[in-house]
Structure 1
Amino acid sequence: MVELLKVFDENYKYIYDETRENIHMKGSWHETFHCWLVNEANVFIQKRSTTKKDFPSLYDITAAGHLLADEEVMDGVREVEEELGIQVDLSKLKRMGIVRDVIRLPGFIDKEFANVFLYQSSFTKDDFKLQEEEVESIHAVAIGDLQALFKGEMKNIFCLDGNQISLIDFVPHETEYFSVIADMLGSSSS
């Protein structure tokens, strides 16, 4: 099955539909859904599966994915449910806004309008039933530590399970993306 995504201009105006492969080859703007699960003190991050085509074994957003051409932004909730195996309570989902994010690699340009959400949760790692081809593991990190890492104030942080990680262990989002997400995580309790 060929995945079609909506292509946008730099002002987030729809142009046409295109395959995901062509979008990343041409560097066309498209939509994604990014959901960060948080509680009072911690944020969950995922470690991508070793079998992922893009960015295997790197840490990333709790759950995220591309929005298909026939989907609206809120349809992206399916990514949380598919990747983590949890049912989303929409009343706990907080829309934070749209963040531009560009990742440039040889033969791959990912230009996203990321629709970012925080999901207030009381989950534990045992609540997740991970989609193994997408997600290798889930890790809880103190919100303040992840903010400091994303803003370049700390070089390394520890997950609550003892894993030490640095920014180089994450999918290579833009510095500005990490900074905006750090600010958004700071408002997670408001």
Structure 2
Amino acid sequence: MEQIDIFDANLKPMGKKERRRAHFDADWHVTFHLWVVGQVYSGSVLYQWRSTEMENFPDMLDVSAAGHILSGETMQDGIREAEEELGITFDSRRIHNLGYRVEVADQENGQKNREYQGVHMCKVEIGLNDFQPQIEEVSGLYWINIQEGIELFTDKRSEVVANGVYYDPKREKWIESERVFSKDNFLPRIQNYYLTAHIMAERLLDDKLPLSIS
């Protein structure tokens, strides 16, 4: 079983625990988030469509790549796992560290998220055909235009049209797709995380550094 390091609310190490048990015990732990940004469609953010097999929040849009930092691992291991999850290699020199954001949320299944999320962002110049996602984790990848996303998350529009690919298990292949999403399609978060990610993506494409999140 996967072990993760657990902390107090000040990120002081408190030992390690089995990952699922840590969630039910409301233990603080660290996760890795990577947002992928591209110039496609006049500047877009890449979202992952979570697999139907995921225990938590299946069939929902989320960060491009994300995962738990296992016991003894570092954020560099998070980058490696993001590469495995998406099936591409990132240039570490182009990955920006936006800092930690704190997420506190209780789920109906009894799990309690107490996470320090190490948020990163990277600009890429490749197309979706260059990605080879892990079908166990990812059901699809979709580009959402930065400005349209900002309008969606500020309630200036009710939905966006996204271009991407989804995995068809019957045909065992990735299929190009255009889909319409509303805010209900995104993994729920209390804070304006997605809005902030789009604002930071806009800054990144405009070369307006530094980038930050909280």
When normalised by structure 1's length, the TM-score is 0.92
In structure 1, what is the equivalent of residue 166 of structure 2? none
Task: Tell me which moved more, 35-44 or 176-185.
Answer: 176-185
Report if aligned partners of 1:151, 1:182 keep a CA contact under 8 Å in 2: no
Structure 2 residue matching 1:175: 3-state secondary structure: coil
- Counterparts of 1:88-167 in structure 2 under 5 Å? 88-106=90-108, 107-160=110-163, 161-167=177-183
Q: What 5-or-longer segments of structure 1 have no aligned partner?
A: none
Q: CA deviation at 1:19?
A: 1.0
Cα distance, 1:162 vs. partner?
A: 2.9
Q: What residue ranges of structure 2 are gaps of 5+ in the alignment?
A: 164-176, 208-214
Aligned mates of 2:97, 2:113 — CA distance in 1: 22
Structure 2 CA distance for aligned equivalents of residues 7 and 152 of structure 1: 37
Count of residue pairs brought into register by the alignment: 189
User: Which position in structure 1 is the counterpart of 2:211?
Assistant: none
- Measured on the aligned residues, the alpha-carbon RMSD in Å equals 1.6
1:175 aligns with 2:191: yes
Question: Structure 2 vs 1, CA of residues 151 and 17 (structure 1 numbering), >3 Å: closer, same or farther?
Answer: farther
CA pair 115-153 structure 1, distance change in 2 beyond 3 A: farther
Who is 1:53 aligned against?
Answer: 55
SS of the equivalent of 2:147 reads helix
**Percent sequence identity over aligned pairs:** 31
Instruction: Report the residue type matching 2:183 in the other structure.
Output: L
TM (normalized to structure 2)? Answer: 0.82
Query: In 1, are the aligned partners of 2:143 and 2:162 still within 8 Å (CA)?
Result: yes
Once residues 58 and 87 of structure 2 are traced to their aligned partners in structure 1, the CA distance between those partners, rounded to angstroms, is 20
Report what 2:86 is aligned to. 84
Q: Look at both structures and tell me which one has the larger radius of gyration over its CA atoms.
A: 2
